[in-house]
Every structure is written in structure tokens, then in C-alpha cells.
Structure 1
Amino acid sequence: MSSAPAARAPAPALYPCEVAHVRTAPSTYALRHRTYLWLVDPDAPPRLPLPLRPLARFDARDHFGGGAPSIRAGLAAFLAARGIELGDARVLMLAHGRVLGHVFNPLTLYWCRRPDGTPLCTVAEVHNTYGERHCYLLHADEEHRATVDKEFYVSPFFDVEGRYRMRLPEPGERLALTVHLEQDGGRPFTATVRGERRPATTGAVLRCVLRRPLATLAVSAGIRYHGIRLYLRRLPVRPRPRHSPQEGVQ
């Protein structure tokens, strides 16, 4: 079967959005920041005018094992190692693009649909600030909800234990994602992403870049800034276990 998508790729879209994190244990802490995300078919990235191309690049080296010839090929290899054939499925990816050579994606989502439009699976790719990455294979229900065991060290203030309970509907006119961490019978951490769709016109790209310059650098810097604040509040730091790379992911 061909590895290329059968259906025409949808037009890339932008989602100016607000990301919120709320911690309720071991102490209460909340943060919000504004950014923008791209929704693209990884085989059909945005075609921007030449001067704007450094503001939105999507490279295979930034996803999965980093050595596949394309992002779709990396996704296909990850799924094949888990007994799922991507084939001609349509793929939509929600992510930051590279901005002036820099990218950091705490969470990249891939929605995969069969040629008949039925859901195949969802993949959540997580990066931490230690240069590591991990992917979760999800099979959501009709309400777009999925649960999965936590297997990856993200925050120095949480152990690698518990489960994630997620609601990850494929974005339409609105973007509305929710991720709960469940540990010891409670929900010590919740992350949400809320935004509205914008066509990825030249004007829209320029507005996003001017309002949120160096957006990906701001994300990684913000994580470290809030980590320092939490450390100064004397939150206990959990030791980082050795990360065992997944097949197809480094």
C-alpha cells in the first residue's frame, strides 16, 4: 500500500491560543501564556513567501527518531512498531514550527484518519527540557477522551507515575485540549490549550510573529522560569530516571 496520503491535504491553519497549567499539589501554582500553533498535514507544510519561510519550518529531525526522511515516515515507523499500518491515512499535526532555526514542542499531536474518515489513532509526542522525547499511542473514544499510563519524566516536581486522562478533539474552528495528570487518587496537574482557527495567510503569519516573536524560544524559556520559581518555593525535586528510548523514538 502506498505511504502517501490519498486525500487532498487540508489548508494549513494557525491557532493563536492560550496555554494554562494548574498545579494543586504539593502546592497550588498556576500559569498562563499566549502563543500560536500550526495545524498542518506534515506532507503539505505551509507554502509561505520566501522571506517568511524561516518563520515556519517543519523538519523530520525534530520528531520521532529524527532520522526518517519525513515526519510522516517517522510517524509510520512508530506506528508500525506497534502493529498499526498508517498506509493512506490522513494525518494532521498540531505543533510549533521552527522560528529562525529554533523549535521546542512540549506536545505535538497527530490525528490519523483512515481514507473513509474514521479515526485510526492519535499520537501524542512529548519533549522535555532535557532533550528527550517520548510518544504515547492513543485510541480515543467518541468523546475524544483517552487515558494512558505516564511513562516519561517531564517536570522535576512529579514522579514518573500515575496516568494521563486527556480530551483531544481534532481542531476545527476552535482548539480545545485538556490533559489531566492523575496520581494517588487526585489530579495534581491540569494543562489546557484554547484557541481559535485562522487561515494561514501571509498577513495572519506576520501578525502572529509580531505579537509573539520567537514564540518557541519563549516557550522553553518560560518553562525554565516557572521551574525556578517552583524550586524557590521549596517544592521537592524528584530524581530524573534514566530515559529508555522507544523503538522509533529517541
Structure 2
Amino acid sequence: MTRTPALYPCTVAHIRTAPTRYALRHRTYMWLTDPDHPPRLPFPLGPLARFDPRDHFDGEQPSIRAGLDRFLAAHGVDLCGGPVVMLAHARVLGHVFNPLTLYWCHDPDGAPRCVVAEVHNTYGERHCYLLRPDGTGIARTEKEFYVSPFFPVDGEYRMRLPVPDSRLALTVRLERDGTRPFTATVRGTRRPATVGALLRQALRHPWSTAAVSAAIRIHGIRLCLRGLPVQPRPRHRTKESAT
């Protein structure tokens, strides 16, 4: 099992190839944690990293792990207390935005069981996918949640989501009608979750999650100005999918 907690300074890149080509890169940092045992920081640093159950799943459970277990139970999965590692942004100075939170779930003996991908959009909605990667570490699932206003809710995601170790290397690709119009990658390097490391990241990326949210909106405005049509946003379905 990968040891937690850890920090991953990382670069998030989006490449859009249709209906027009557009690319963006954004630097931030993420936490790899055990949702059963979130990081404990000295009192003055608490506002720099808080993990709140209200920010995940239905937001009504007493802990993030309880929310995860409830979601898994709804899909017939019982980890029997097996370990979980979570990759996410923490709440920073009262604000959080997690475009993608990942949970690598294991049986009690440490054997991989499944991966849960929790997706948030900028409209305050969230949706979870239960994934079962194949022998090559690739998982596929139908897209069922409105994320970008420039793509309808169709197509399929192809995800490569290895458990982070010394490196963080994630790839999420949207496939539609034999094309690959959108690819997102996250690349980073593991750092020990020390007070000094957190302070350095907080100074380099103040209001880090607010910056992520703002960057998404700014790039959305640029795409609108380029004439990309906005797709209607369907009423959000609370169904959380499994594949």
C-alpha cells in the first residue's frame, strides 16, 4: 500500500481537439490521504488543509469513508474495512473545488478491489463512477454527467488511473463517435506531507482550489468568445454509475 499522507505538486493539462483545438495547463497541488485518517495539522495551519465530509458523496455522512462505504454498498461492494487511499484537493481557507477525486479501494489483504471517481462540475453538482480497471490499469465508463458546457452528455471515458507512488500520472480521455476530442492529464511528483512542504505549496499556490475554479471559468469564457456553442445542461441525475 502507498503510504499516506503525501503531497503532489502537479500540472493539470487539458487538450481539446474538437470542435476547435485548445489547450491549457495549470499548476496546483493535491493530497494523497487515508480517508479514515485525514492529516492532522498544527492548529494555526488547519485552514490550509481540511477534509470535510460535506464536500464528498451525498454530503450527509459523518465521514468521507462513511460516504464512500455507503456508495459502494449501493453497488454491492463491501470492502470489509479494507484500506482506501484518496487523491483530492483539500479545503483551503474555507474554499474547495475538486474536479476529480479518486479513491483506490482494497480488500483487507491489500488486494485492489475497485476505483471510485468522484466528479464535480462548476455548477455545484457531483457524480460518482465505480470503476474496475482491467489488467492494464485501464477503466472505461459511459459519460453520464455534464462537466464541460461545450460537450453533451454522451460518449465514453477511457481512464488510466494508477495508484500514485513516487509519481502521479493520471489520464482521462473522452471518446465520441470514434474520435478523441478531449484529454486531461495530471502529472506530479510525491513530496512528504510536512509542515514545511505544505507552507511552500500554500505560498506558491495561494487559494489553490479557488484558482482552479477560476481558471476553468476563464478558459470557458475564452472558448465562448471563439464561438463554441454551449450545450444545454440537463437536469442532474443523482444516479451514480458502476462499470
TM-score range for the pair, normalised by the shorter chain length: over 0.9
Match of 1:177, SS state, is strand
Verify: 1:133 aligned to 2:126, yes or no.
yes
Question: Residues 80 and 108 of structure 2 are in contact (CA less than 8 Å); yes or no, is this contact kept in structure 1?
Answer: no
RMSD, aligned α-carbons: 1.3
Verify: 1:23 aligned to 2:16, yes or no.
yes
Quote the offset at 1:43 in angstroms.
1.2
Verify: 1:173 aligned to 2:166, yes or no.
yes
Quote the offset at 1:14 in angstroms.
0.1
Match in the other structure for 1:198 = 191
Residue 237 (structure 2) aligned to one of 225, 233, 244? 244
Residue 227 (structure 1) aligned to one of 220, 226, 231? 220
Match in the other structure for 1:218 = 211
Match in the other structure for 2:155 = 162
1:49-88 equivalences under 5 Å are 49-88=42-81
Distance 1:58 1:233 in 2: 38
Quote the offset at 1:227 in angstroms.
0.3
Question: Residues 97 and 209 of structure 2 are in contact (CA less than 8 Å); yes or no, is this contact kept in structure 1?
Answer: yes
Distance 1:56 1:43 in 2: 16
Match in the other structure for 1:39 = 32
Quote the offset at 1:244 in angstroms.
1.3
For structure 2, the residue ranges without an aligned partner over 5 or more in a row are: none
Question: Residues 157 and 173 of structure 2 are in contact (CA less than 8 Å); yes or no, is this contact kept in structure 1?
Answer: yes
Question: Residues 81 and 247 of structure 1 are in contact (CA less than 8 Å); yes or no, is this contact kept in structure 2?
Answer: no
Distance 2:73 2:90 in 1: 25
Tell me the percent identity: 71
Match in the other structure for 1:3 = none
For structure 1, the residue ranges without an aligned partner over 5 or more in a row are: 1-6
TM-score norm. by structure 1 comes to 0.94
Distance 1:190 1:107 in 2: 14
TM-score norm. by structure 2 comes to 0.97
Question: Residues 91 and 112 of structure 1 are in contact (CA less than 8 Å); yes or no, is this contact kept in structure 2?
Answer: yes
Match of 1:213, SS state, is coil
Match of 2:224, SS state, is helix
Distance 1:80 1:223 in 2: 33
Distance 2:237 2:131 in 1: 20
Match in the other structure for 2:114 = 121
Task: Write out the 4+ residue segments of structure 1 that deviate beyond 6 Å after TM superposition.
Answer: none
Quote the offset at 1:28 in angstroms.
0.1
Distance 1:135 1:32 in 2: 25
